[in-house]
Structure 1
């Protein structure tokens, strides 16, 4: 069953460019994964340093056991403590309906 993750980030202001560079590399690599559905990166209109990532995958088990172990994620995961003012907020959701134009 597909799973959606809603992940919120509060980025250290001086690390915004590095945060986006590393995250964009991960998002670009994820696009070719067979279990990947979609990802949308949002920025809080009231803060240049607050982001929300919405990503959907085919399987939570695949994400935990395979995707999080991918080599292209290593630099991203290692850098996160220095990039963020606080821990990420991660929520898991099950999609019921999708409408696209």
Structure 2
């Protein structure tokens, strides 16, 4: 069953460019994973250094056991303490209903 992660970030203002570069590399790589569904990065309209990443995967266990251990994530995970003003806020959601325009 699909699972969605909502991850909120408070980025240090002087690290925003580096945050975007490292996260873009991860997003570009994970797009090719077979269990990946989608990811959307959102910025707070009142504070460009507050962001929310919405990402959906096919299986939670695969994310924990396989995806989080992918080598393309190493630089991103190592840099997080320098990039962020505080810990990430991560919540897990299960899709119940979806509508999309064509």
| Fold match by TM threshold 0.5 | yes
Partner of 1:42: 42
State how many pairs are aligned: 101
Q: Does 1:84 align with 2:84?
A: yes
The normalised TM-score by structure 1 is: 0.99
| Superposed counterparts of 1:1-101, under 5 Å | 1-101=1-101
CA separation in 2, counterparts of 1:59 and 1:32?
15
Unaligned runs of 5+ in 2: none
Give how far 1:26 is off. 0.3
Give how far 1:2 is off. 0.4
Give how far 1:48 is off. 1.2
CA separation in 2, counterparts of 1:98 and 1:30?
22
Unaligned runs of 5+ in 1: none
Q: Root-mean-square deviation (CA), in Å?
A: 0.4
Deviating above 4 A after TM superposition, structure 1's stretches of 4 or more consecutive aligned residues are none
CA separation in 2, counterparts of 1:58 and 1:99?
18
The normalised TM-score by structure 2 is: 0.98
Per-residue CA deviation, residues 44-86 of structure 1 (Å, 9 max, x unaligned), is 0000100000000000000000000000000000000000000
